[in-house]
Amino acid sequence: MSFSSDVKQELAQVPVLSDCCAQARAYGMLLFGRMFSVSEISFVTENENIAKLYCDVIKELFDITPSVSSGVSKYTVSVADEADRKRILEFFGHSESDISLRINRANLPEDCCFGAFLRGVFIACGTISSPEKNYHLEFSVSYKKLCNDLIQLLDEVGFAPKYVKRKSSHIVYFKVSEKIEEFLTLVGAMNSTLELMGIKMHKDMVNHVNRRVNFENANLSRTVDAAIVQVEAIEKIERTVGLESLPAPLAEMAKLRRDNPEVSLS
Ligand SMILES: [Zn+2]
């Protein structure tokens, strides 16, 4: 399994302690799912447990049992009945005549709800790279205004995310490892945070050792370069005035160097 699905697996199991946060998490999952409109409310996932969570969330809040279809490697969960879809939209303060999908902040009444909401959003449309490779966490959003609202919300809680358009998707992302750790902590993925920090420490140590080895190799090659210059000079003296013209201790040193060019005499 990828690191991303490990994180989602963990997030699916984070207990929700209050009604306000249960609604905020459900809102994040639904709003950032595949579709959230009167004609379709649906969610696609590769993970069976996440599909089950989506069903449970809808069942608990609305007493509606969504339909699930499974394809080659994914599950599609959807609310089949139009009256049910209208009821869900109304509950979250959305209207079937809304022109564009936006985050309705009334669904995040308390500070505690931000983490639960963002957990739902990440479950719905987030991915994270394996920290062994690089540090990258992103959300892929289908609608520009909804994406802008998410950027603003992440900004408010201190994440300073970046934006890029990729094909028809709006991508919100951050690449700073500390921000990724903070985000995972905020949404309740403690084990994943610790795993990321452990991998980061290991990578930093390997980098440090490599830098040290490179530094020592560079020193060694400087020593060798210096020895070559010295040997050339000694040979020139031998060819011209002879080593015996040097003071005795220096002549001794020159012979040693000439016969042992690889040894550091410093
Ligand atoms: Zn709350």
Distance 28 CA to ligand 1 centre (A): 13
Distance 237 CA to ligand 1 centre (A): 86
Structure tokens at 220: 């060694």
The pLDDT of 237-265, averaged and rounded, is 81
Distance 7 CA to ligand 1 centre (A): 21
Structure tokens at 145: 């205004």
Indicate the pLDDT class of residue 217, thresholds 50, 70 and 90: confident
Distance 188 CA to ligand 1 centre (A): 13
pLDDT value at 262 more than 80: no
pLDDT tens digit string along 102-131? 999 999 999 999 999 999 999 999 999 998
Cβ density class 20-41: b for 16+ within 10 Å, e for less: bbbbbbbbbbbbbbbbbeeeeb
* pLDDT for the residue numbered 266: 55
Distances (CA, A) of 240 to 11, 199, 247, 249: 81, 62, 16, 19
Q: Are 232 and 262 in contact (CB under 8 A)?
A: no
pLDDT tens digit string along 50-66? 999 999 999 999 999 99
Structure tokens at 155: 């900004």
Lowest mean pLDDT among 18-32, 141-155, 220-234: 220-234
Per-residue H/E/C for the chain:
CCHHHHHHHHHHHCCCCCHHHHHHHHHHHHHCCCEECCCCEEEEECCHHHHHHHHHHHHHHHCCCCEEEECCCCEEEECCCHHHHHHHHHHCCCCCCCCCCCCCHHHCCCCHHHHHHHHHHHHHHEEECCCCCCCCEEEEECCHHHHHHHHHHHHHCCCCCEEEEECCEEEEEECCHHHHHHHHHHCCCHHHHHHHHHHHHHHHHHHHHHHHHHHHHHHHHHHHHHHHHHHHHHHHHHHCCCHHHCCHHHHHHHHHHHHCCCCCCC
Torsion of CA 65, 143, 20, 59, to 10 degrees: 0
Q: Are 8 and 2 in contact (CB under 8 A)?
A: no
Cα three-residue angle 234-238-241, rounded to 5 degrees: 115
* pLDDT for the residue numbered 264: 66
Torsion of CA 193, 136, 46, 197, to 10 degrees: -20
Q: What is the overall mean pLDDT for the chain?
A: 90
- For domain 3-188, the CATH class is alpha beta
Distance 22 CA to ligand 1 centre (A): 7
Distance 186 CA to ligand 1 centre (A): 13
The pLDDT of 75-91, averaged and rounded, is 96
Indicate the pLDDT class of residue 38, thresholds 50, 70 and 90: very high
Distance 108 CA to ligand 1 centre (A): 7
Distance 206 CA to ligand 1 centre (A): 41
pLDDT tens digit string along 174-202? 999 899 999 999 999 888 888 888 888 88
Distance 229 CA to ligand 1 centre (A): 74
Distance 254 CA to ligand 1 centre (A): 81
Distance 156 CA to ligand 1 centre (A): 17
Indicate the pLDDT class of residue 265, thresholds 50, 70 and 90: low
